[in-house]
Amino acid sequence: MKNGLLIVVIIGFTIPLLISCEKFFPPAPADDEVLDGFVEGLSSEQQAQFLAGDVAFNSVFTAETGLGPSFVATSCGSCHPGDGKGHPFTTLIRFGQGDTTGNSYLDNGGPQLQNRAIPAHSPEQLPPGVPFAKFTPPANTGLGFLAALTDAQILANADPNDVNGDGISGIPNYLTPPSYFQPQSYQQNFGGKYIGRFGKKAAAITLLHQTVNAYVQDIGVTSEFAMSEPSIYNGTNPTPDNVPDPEVDGATVQNVVFYLRTLKAPIQRSPDNADAIAGKQLFLNANCGKCHIPQWTTPQSDIAALSNKTFYPYTDLLLHDMGSELDDGYTEGSAKTSEWRTPPLWGIGLAKNSQGGQYFLLHDGRAITIHDAIMVHGGEAANSKNQYKQLSETDKQRLIKFLETR
Amino acid sequence: MYTYNWHSMKRIILFSLTSFLSIHALAQTDSSLFNRIPADTSDLKLNMEAAYNRPFLQTGKLPVAIGGYVEANSSYFGTDGVSEGPSFQIPRMTIFLSSSIKKGIKFLSEVELEEGGKEIAIEFASMDIEFHPLFNLRGGVVMNPIGAFNQNHDGPKWEFISRPISATTIIPSTWSNVGFGIFGRYGHNNWVWAYEAYLTNGFDGKIISNEENRTWLPASKDNPERFQESFNGVPLTTIKSAFRNREIGEIGLSWMGGIYNKFEKDGVKIDTKRRVDVFAIDLNTTIPGSNTYCNGEWVWAIIDVPKTYSQQFGGKQRGGFLDIVQPVVQQEMFGWEKSTINLAFRLEYSDYNVGTFKETGGNISDDIYAIVPGISFRPSQQTVIRANYRYLWEHDLLGNPPALTAGFQFGFSTYF
């Protein structure tokens, strides 16, 4: 009788094990709830390179493998968790440039402050009285689509002299490229300068440019593209670490770039939500879409999965004067101190899931709600902000609902 | 400082093992040659004496006894909808050898073959010299007496297939080191009190510089040199004291502390001395009447992380586990007298970074919670067949939605 019980217990326990395991496993989060994942249509070879890049993006550097000596964080994934926006814990500081003539601290600690250091080394201190700004890490999704656009497409929306009189005068950031830069057919040469697309001030021309700088400035990791450790303000002779340079190999850097190019675009959630549909109209009526341009289509690309694709990033990749409240007195390239690149708004509704349960919006994470972020829009966006201000409370909520479903 | 020739030690142990096993094999036909020495099951053995309280097998008049245990299991886990499918493991097979060299001089060793023999580790290899019950010397590779699990980790003793998280990631069980120390015990009526105190080699700088991206005490175990020499020339002190009452149960208090970083290079000071301190409390009791066995351990670790390093690496950690084991059937089954079926439940938690962000004042997460319901069948005290379901919630540093992992484990563990 009791033996029977034993057998029942054992069978009762192992049967579910053998048959319906899936029921007992945590389900995968829905595709539209996560930012990680690759674009549709990659070949298996491309998927393998994506995975190699994914591993490198999340691999942690230690003092033994090249971290520092001074650094801000230990991996790309520490600042862009789940490929999403980062937390003030990893907000970084850039300094040393107060106008469009360039950064005067490049050989003396600039452009970035490495506020942390491996044991037995000193972190960098901000030079007194220097212009600086804080940068909170943005999301990394869908960048391949933005990278695939031609300069001509971006320039089509530029209106530096506001010829159309709408008060909005987008302008690209023109930059001197780094030595390893190889111009592509979709890029134009403006007297030796090229258009920047990435970063808060659009100061990185390509994803390679952004990645190389991230390795060396954010993590203190040298690559064949940037062989010196980040310089330290007043550190006449910063003690190097014991790891031979380059600390990351060129193939790994290229894998990370491929990963960034092929990360999927955020997937729109609840597209049929009535409030979101109404919110979209309010967004367009308030001229938000003049800078946060909803829709783009890529031309032919060397990655087939990115060719001729329509996507919805809500950006124009151009710089705009955002008024005095957002003017920190620091700048990069040909941008003015009050100018910021329109950030893509796709995936913004998922930001809380990577920022620790709370929003930290705008370039320095100062806005903790979408409403707050809109309310500090000034300069070229002042009209637009005022139109938003005049909306009823319900309509404001609809507009925000719309953004949260992007 | 306390250097020790690990390789020749390993050779001696392996040699004695193989020779012993061949004697064993030759003798197999005549079982009267063997003498099974069962573990002492009187209640008054403490967690920290577990290594000395195992079932052994002795041949004839040979002064050497041998024993061991093996663990084997299958597991099927999935994280956030992704599973690698079922897999089978022999996480460890362990062999103990003990010998009485002379009256009052004992040698005991525990050699572990991990992951099917890929790694051989000497968990324990020490010589004891007995002077007085309250004062004895022990030297060699010793298990640091921190918490209860570290010294009482044999697979067959547990209803759970996975080792407790806090006891393997905050206390890096099995944590053993080269060193020496003293120990003793005092028993009176229903009471026993015992202590152990050792100086051993200790931790290294890896605990705050590793690919786990968090303060991680087990990282020091990767250093193959740690049996050869101390990382910084400062010994790690470990002290434990425990009481047990036959009716009430056991409580153990332990502390382990020392300097973990290299603060001098070629006689030149390169950094300040940085401490790591681990405190643990362990409790166990059997509730009379229902025979419910409760066993728990709680640990705090305090690590002096340089202020100019990163809050990625926590200066405080804490965690623990509570096991509740309820025998539900106790009778003869399948011809095994006194077999038992137990229901078991484990609750566990580890926080690898206790504190708040300087930038926001918000909580630093980096923690893990788990529950493990299970069932076990014991044909004898020496052998357990067990099935567990395990569910884990893991938060990253920032406290984003947790990674969810769950799965089944099924396996056995037995002394032999």
Do A79 and A187 lie in one domain? The reply is: yes
Residue of A nearest to B402 (CA): A353
Report whether B60 contacts B31 (CB < 8 A).
no
**Pairwise CB contact (< 8 Å): B362 & A356:** yes
Residue of B nearest to A33 (CA): B401
Give the residue numbers spanning the domain of A317.
Answer: 274-404
Do A281 and A317 lie in one domain? The reply is: yes
Residue A146 placed within a domain: no
Matching residue, tokens 């069980």: B173
State what percent of residues in chain B have pLDDT above 90.
Answer: 66
Tell me which chain A residues have a C-beta less than 8 angstroms from the C-beta of B223. Answer: none
When comparing pLDDT for A240 and B308, which is higher?
A: B308
How many Å is the Cα radius of gyration of chain A? 23
pLDDT tens-place string over residues B91-149: 889 999 988 888 889 999 999 988 767 778 888 899 999 999 999 999 999 999 999 99
According to DSSP, the residues that pair with B317 across neighbouring strands are B301
Query: For residue B11, how many other CB atoms are within 10 A of its CB?
Result: 11
- CA–CA dist A241, A284 (Å, integer): 52
CATH number at residue A304: 1.10.760.10
Last residue within a domain, chosen from A227, A262, A297: A262
**Pairwise CB contact (< 8 Å): B341 & A123:** no
- Closest among B416, B411, B415 to B90, alpha carbons compared: B411
Amino acid at B344: A
Encode chain A (406 residues) as per-residue pLDDT tens digits: 455 556 655 655 565 555 555 677 888 888 899 999 999 999 999 999 999 999 999 999 999 999 999 999 999 999 999 999 999 999 999 999 999 999 999 988 999 999 999 998 889 999 999 999 999 999 999 999 999 999 999 999 999 999 999 999 999 999 999 999 999 999 999 999 999 999 999 999 999 999 999 999 999 999 999 999 988 888 755 667 889 999 999 999 999 999 999 999 999 998 889 999 999 999 999 999 999 999 999 999 999 999 999 999 999 999 999 999 999 999 999 999 999 999 999 999 999 999 999 999 999 999 999 999 999 999 999 999 999 999 999 999 999 999 999 9
When CB atoms are compared, the residue of A64, A117, A357 closest to B308 is: A117
- Closest among A357, A228, A341, A216 to A291, alpha carbons compared: A341
Q: Please give the DSSP secondary-structure letter assigned to residue B362.
A: P
Task: Provide the CA A146 distance to its chain's centre, in angstroms.
Answer: 12
Q: How many residues does chain B have?
A: 416
Residue A211 placed within a domain: yes
Do A219 and A280 lie in one domain? The reply is: no
User: Longest Cα pair distance anywhere in chain B, in angstroms?
Assistant: 73
Do A283 and A221 lie in one domain? The reply is: no
**Pairwise CB contact (< 8 Å): A73 & B375:** no
**Pairwise CB contact (< 8 Å): A116 & B310:** yes
pLDDT of residue B63: 76
Residue A1 placed within a domain: no
Residue A174 placed within a domain: no
Name which of B337, B398, B409, B410 to mutate to probe chain A: the one with the most chain A Cβ atoms within 10 A of its Cβ. Answer: B398
Matching residue, tokens 């005290």: B381
A3: Cα within 13 Å, side-chain hemisphere: 7
Residues B11-22: what's their mean pLDDT?
43
Indicate the number of domains in chain A.
2
Chain A contact present for B308, CB below 8 A: yes
ipTM of the complex: 0.91
Report whether B167 contacts B149 (CB < 8 A).
yes
When CB atoms are compared, the residue of B80, B308, B391 closest to A28 is: B80
Check the CA dihedral B143-B323-B293-B333 and report its sign: negative
Matching residue, tokens 């020339």: B233
- CA–CA dist B388, B75 (Å, integer): 9
* Beta strand B176-188 pairing with B135-143: antiparallel
- Which element (helix H / strand E) includes B88? strand B87-102
- Closest among A220, A199, A214, A209 to A115, alpha carbons compared: A220
Counting one residue from chain A and one from chain B, the pairs whose CB atoms sit within 8 A come to: 128
Tokens of A37: 């994942």
Name which of B210, B400, B404, B409 to mutate to probe chain A: the one with the most chain A Cβ atoms within 10 A of its Cβ. Answer: B400
Q: Which of A259-268, B29-38, B115-124, B316-325 has the lowest mean pLDDT?
A: B29-38
For chain B, positions 228-287, list CB contacts with chain A under 8 A: 261, 270-271, 274
**Pairwise CB contact (< 8 Å): B310 & A3:** no
Report whether A352 contacts A370 (CB < 8 A).
no
Tell me which chain A residues have a C-beta less than 8 angstroms from the C-beta of B276. Answer: none
**Pairwise CB contact (< 8 Å): B309 & A89:** no
**Pairwise CB contact (< 8 Å): A24 & B333:** no
When CB atoms are compared, the residue of B79, B274, B398 closest to A81 is: B398
Chain A contact present for B329, CB below 8 A: yes
- Closest among B299, B378, B318 to B344, alpha carbons compared: B378
Last residue within a domain, chosen from A262, A292, A314: A262
**Pairwise CB contact (< 8 Å): A59 & B211:** yes
Report the SS3 class of residue A349.
Answer: helix
Query: For residue A164, how many other CB atoms are within 10 A of its CB?
Result: 10
Amino acid at B263: F
Residue A213 placed within a domain: yes
- CA–CA dist B2, B364 (Å, integer): 38
- CA–CA dist B175, B183 (Å, integer): 18
- Closest among B362, B366, B356 to B395, alpha carbons compared: B366
Name which of B309, B311, B357, B391 to mutate to probe chain A: the one with the most chain A Cβ atoms within 10 A of its Cβ. Answer: B309
When CB atoms are compared, the residue of A26, A81, A119 closest to B406 is: A26
Residue of A nearest to B207 (CA): A62
Do A87 and A195 lie in one domain? The reply is: yes
Residue A133 placed within a domain: yes
Name which of B231, B308, B338, B388 to mutate to probe chain A: the one with the most chain A Cβ atoms within 10 A of its Cβ. Answer: B308
Do A49 and A94 lie in one domain? The reply is: yes
Tell me which chain A residues have a C-beta less than 8 angstroms from the C-beta of B357. Answer: 87-89
Tokens of B158: 């547990």
Tell me which chain B residues have a C-beta less than 8 angstroms from the C-beta of A29. Answer: 80-81, 401
Residue A6 placed within a domain: no
Last residue within a domain, chosen from A234, A262, A290: A262
Report the SS3 class of residue A213.
Answer: helix
Chain A contact present for B408, CB below 8 A: yes
**Pairwise CB contact (< 8 Å): B408 & A6:** no
The CA distance from B215 to the nearest CA of chain A, in Å, is: 12
When CB atoms are compared, the residue of B308, B404, B408 closest to A116 is: B308
- CA–CA dist B327, B333 (Å, integer): 14
Chain A contact present for B397, CB below 8 A: yes
Q: Is the pLDDT of residue B191 over 70?
A: yes
**Pairwise CB contact (< 8 Å): A14 & B261:** no
- Predicted TM-score (pTM) of this structure: 0.92
**Pairwise CB contact (< 8 Å): A21 & B408:** yes
When CB atoms are compared, the residue of B205, B208, B375 closest to A9 is: B375
Chain A contact present for B353, CB below 8 A: no
pLDDT of residue A138: 98
Helices (H), B101-243: 165-169
pLDDT tens-place string over residues B198-225: 999 999 999 999 999 999 999 999 887 8
C-alpha torsion B330→B336→B341→B347, nearest 10? 120
Report the SS3 class of residue B355.
Answer: coil
The CA distance from A231 to the nearest CA of chain B, in Å, is: 17
pLDDT of residue A50: 98
Do A55 and A188 lie in one domain? The reply is: yes
Q: Please give the DSSP secondary-structure letter assigned to residue B29.
A: G
Name which of A15, A85, A87 to mutate to probe chain B: the one with the most chain B Cβ atoms within 10 A of its Cβ. Answer: A87
Do A117 and A214 lie in one domain? The reply is: yes
**Pairwise CB contact (< 8 Å): B405 & A26:** yes
pLDDT tens-place string over residues B329-381: 988 888 888 899 999 999 999 999 999 999 999 999 999 999 999 999 999 98
Do A324 and A212 lie in one domain? The reply is: no
pLDDT of residue B31: 43
**Pairwise CB contact (< 8 Å): A82 & B208:** no
Q: Please give the DSSP secondary-structure letter assigned to residue A218.
A: I
- Closest among B414, B299, B292 to B343, alpha carbons compared: B292
Residue of B nearest to A92 (CA): B359
pLDDT of residue B40: 60
Let me know how many helices (H) and strands (E) chain A has, helices first. Answer: 12, 11
Do A233 and A106 lie in one domain? The reply is: yes
- CA–CA dist B387, B366 (Å, integer): 29
Do A134 and A226 lie in one domain? The reply is: yes
Report whether B176 contacts B143 (CB < 8 A).
yes
Report the SS3 class of residue A18.
Answer: helix
- Closest among A215, A203, A153, A145 to A177, alpha carbons compared: A203
Task: Provide the CA A277 distance to its chain's centre, in angstroms.
Answer: 27
pLDDT of residue A372: 98
Do A248 and A385 lie in one domain? The reply is: no
Name which of A17, A93, A121, A366 to mutate to probe chain B: the one with the most chain B Cβ atoms within 10 A of its Cβ. Answer: A17
pLDDT of residue B11: 47
For chain B, positions 9-28, list CB contacts with chain A under 8 A: none
Residue of A nearest to B211 (CA): A60
Tell me which chain A residues have a C-beta less than 8 angstroms from the C-beta of B406. Answer: 24-26
C-alpha torsion A298→A304→A305→A311, nearest 10? 10
Residue of B nearest to A11 (CA): B387
pLDDT tens-place string over residues A253-263: 999 999 999 99
Domains of chain B: 6-415 (2.40.160.10)
- Would you tell me the crossing angle of helices A250-262 and A44-58 to the nearest 10 degrees? 110
The CA distance from A130 to the nearest CA of chain B, in Å, is: 21
Residue A103 placed within a domain: yes
What is the 3 state secondary structure string of B98-115? EEEEECCEEEEEEEEEEH
The CA distance from B401 to the nearest CA of chain A, in Å, is: 6
